[in-house]
Amino acid sequence: MLRGAVGGRYAEALYEIAERDKVVEAIEQELLAVDAIIRENRDLQKMLYHPRITPENKKSLLSDLLSGKVSDVTMEFLKLLVDRQREQFLSDIVSYYVNLANKARNVTEARVSSAVELTPEEKENMAGVLNRVTGKKVQTSYNVDPSLIGGVVVRIGDRVIDGSIRTRLATLREHLRQIS
């Protein structure tokens, strides 16, 4: 089965439960924290993803590690993933879950790359423009990429708005090649 299909199916099921219990945001924060813990700890990854370690041992490890730190819903969900041998899909599931929660909140994420650090005023203006263009509340993350030379590149989902000097120069170069 495709990774995306597995991630989407489990995320949707968990989201329905969280929505029913009115704990969507709490589950979202717990999933993000658990995913970060696992991604940052290679030994934990080896234990959870090793095929010879029994599901009972994996569930015991998760209980010992997360007991009292996550809700029963999250703990039971993680144990279900282990029982179904889907623990390696956790990052995909978390990503899908966050997207479902954002969609319900009418929120979208945007990544803005610029050649130089943007000022707080420029960031505020950028956020305002993105909110108007998308019709949603946009959560923006910013990074500096000097290779852009100037301008910005905005990524919203699978859409890319490229206003960088690097791309304009590449387009001009290609145009000049076609002429000559």
For 53-99, how does the pLDDT look when each residue is reduced to its tens digit (9 = 90+)? 999 999 999 999 999 999 999 999 999 999 999 999 999 999 999 99
CA–CA separation, 15 and 62 (whole Å): 21
Q: Hey, which residues does 143 pair with through a beta bridge?
A: 113
Confidence at residue 157, expressed as pLDDT on a 0 to 100 scale: 86
Same domain, 113 and 168: yes
Same domain, 65 and 145: no
Residues counted in the chain: 180
Q: What is the CATH number of the domain that holds 38?
A: 1.10.520.20
What tens-digit pLDDT sequence spans the chain (180 residues)?
Answer: 456 788 999 999 999 999 999 999 999 999 999 999 999 999 999 999 999 999 999 999 999 999 999 999 999 999 999 999 999 999 999 999 999 999 999 999 999 999 999 999 999 999 999 999 999 999 999 999 999 999 999 999 889 999 999 999 999 999 999 998
Confidence at residue 180, expressed as pLDDT on a 0 to 100 scale: 80
Same domain, 32 and 93: yes
Confidence at residue 2, expressed as pLDDT on a 0 to 100 scale: 58
CA–CA separation, 157 and 179 (whole Å): 35
Name the DSSP letter for residue 145. Answer: -
For all residues of the chain together, what is the average pLDDT? 95
Q: Hey, which residues does 138 pair with through a beta bridge?
A: 108
Q: For residue 138, what are the domain limits? A: 107-179
Name the strand (E) or helix (H) holding 40.
Answer: helix 24-40
Domain count, the chain: 2
Confidence at residue 104, expressed as pLDDT on a 0 to 100 scale: 96
Answer with the one of 103, 125, 146 that is the final residue of a domain: 103
Same domain, 88 and 121: no
Q: Helix crossing, 24-40 with 42-49: angle to 10°?
A: 100
Supply angle C-alpha 77, 55, 85, rounded to 5: 65
Answer with the one of 60, 76, 103 that is the final residue of a domain: 103
User: Of 153, 120, 126, 152, whose CA–CA distance to 138 is shortest?
Assistant: 126
Name the DSSP letter for residue 156. Answer: E
